[in-house]
Structure 1
Amino acid sequence: MASPAFSADVNNGKTLHQAKCYQCHAQKSGLGNGDIIYTRADRKVKDPARLKFMVSMCNTEMRLDLFPEDEADLVAYLNQQFYKFK
């Protein structure tokens, strides 16, 4: 899922998730749990391409100022932690 020019850093993805994503997702869930958005039955992400798209969309719409390698790190972390896509 990462570009051949660099390899994803899952630890950086985790750090970025805590700093840039968790709080917004906790508020959006209404339950104060930012992780539930990834594990709910009606989740929007069903494949790796959609995961990458959603991370990119959040970066753009929320003006997170993430570099492409940061997006790749976030995708790698979310996939490892929640989605487990091959």
Structure 2
Amino acid sequence: MKMIFARASAIIVLWGLFTPQLFAAPDLASGKSIDQQKCYACHSKKAGFGNGDMIYTRSDSKVKSVADLKKMVGLCNTELRLDLFPEDETDVAAYLGQTFYKFKP
């Protein structure tokens, strides 16, 4: 019985250590920084807008929902080999969603 209790206690402690990271709120400052360092330059050059932010506000935007935005951020990360971690993608999507798309959190 003591062994079962010890294992259960260890699992609860480990869960407590990792759970906050799994459910942490997006870091908008980090998302903004990543957008400025990695996204803006590419969008301004490759999209032909000159202003990297214009891709987010164009009338023919492919992004219509939070799910679309997350997919696009993931696609850019994969296709352009930006080496962003999943939490970085979440931060960028949250920043762009709040700043440009005006999606509710």
Question: Structure 2 length normalisation: TM-score?
Answer: 0.75
Q: CA deviation at 1:44?
A: 0.6
Question: Structure 1, residues 1-59: CA drift from partner, whole Å, max 9, x if none?
Answer: xx852210000000000111001100123131000000000011000000000000000
How big is the alpha-carbon RMSD for the aligned residues of Structure 1 and Structure 2? 1.3
Whether 1:39 and 2:57 are equivalent positions in the alignment is yes
Give the SS at the match of 1:64: coil
Partner Cα distance (1:13, 1:82) in 2: 13
CA–CA separation in structure 1 for the residues paired with 2:49 and 2:55: 10
What stretches of structure 1 of length at least 5 have no aligned partner? none
Greater share of helix residues, 1 or 2? 2
Gaps of 5+ in 2: 1-20
Distance 2:66 2:22 in 1: 16
Q: Alignment length, in residue pairs?
A: 84
* 2:90 is aligned with 1:72: yes
After TM superposition, the score normalised by the length of structure 1 is: 0.91
Look up the match of 2:14.
none
